[in-house]
Structure 1
């Protein structure tokens, strides 16, 4: 299992990333519920790349934890305007594009790990991981 990087420039690219995430989540034997959570994460981060940064890339990769867990990481990267106030952007209902403002807060809730680094004028990286205990 290898990482897949998908360049996101238009809506159709998000579905290429979604397909890659679905495939890897299946290979890692995630439950249907967790597969859906991963898919929502990819959709939200992909839409954010287009809406806020004019594009970027999503990397979907297997990850392993030393305590015997397998996981799937979704990392979205862009060279857009950045987020001036990350804490504000993580509040439910906050939006700069008149949307529901549920994207980043929702991704944070759906995944087991969530990290965001943003520098205004440089870009943003969001990394979210979903863990699955290895069945023996």
Structure 2
């Protein structure tokens, strides 16, 4: 199985590259096409957030193993402005960009676990996991 892979998110093309890498790793781990689509959608949202709000960051994609199970972990890291109210951004419909506000709440629904750490002026780390 593949090791941890990192994609720098600087341009919109990097979002596409992160999606493709995520799909490939998900397929290697053994996820079916529906879960591959869920995983790539989550990666797309996380990478787009980096691109829109922080201007630059990285997506780390890695296969993971637990007790008798396999999965995939995606970590989105940036040194952007940070999120001042994590609880609020996790509410459906909340948007700072004028979008649909489906971003992080959508990612939470697509994945099995989400963890967000953010410090104002220092950046944000979002880690998500999906298990087979």
The answer to whether the superposition gives a TM-score over 0.5 is yes
Q: Deviations over 1:10-46 (max 9, x none)?
A: 1000111111111111111101111011000010001
Partner residue in 1 for 2:4: 3
Find the aligned partners of 2:105 and 2:56 in 1 and give their Cα distance: 20
Partner residue in 1 for 2:69: 69
Structure 1's consecutive aligned runs of 4 or more residues displaced over 3 angstroms after TM superposition are none
Report matched runs for 1:11-50 at 5 Å.
11-50=12-51
Q: Which runs of 5+ in 1 are unaligned?
A: none
Q: TM-score, normalised by structure 1?
A: 0.95
Q: Which runs of 5+ in 2 are unaligned?
A: none
Partner residue in 2 for 1:122: 122
How many residue pairs were aligned? 131
Q: TM-score, normalised by structure 2?
A: 0.97
Partner residue in 2 for 1:106: 106
**Root mean square deviation, CA, Å:** 0.6
Report matched runs for 1:87-98 at 5 Å.
87-98=87-98
Find the aligned partners of 2:17 and 2:33 in 1 and give their Cα distance: 19
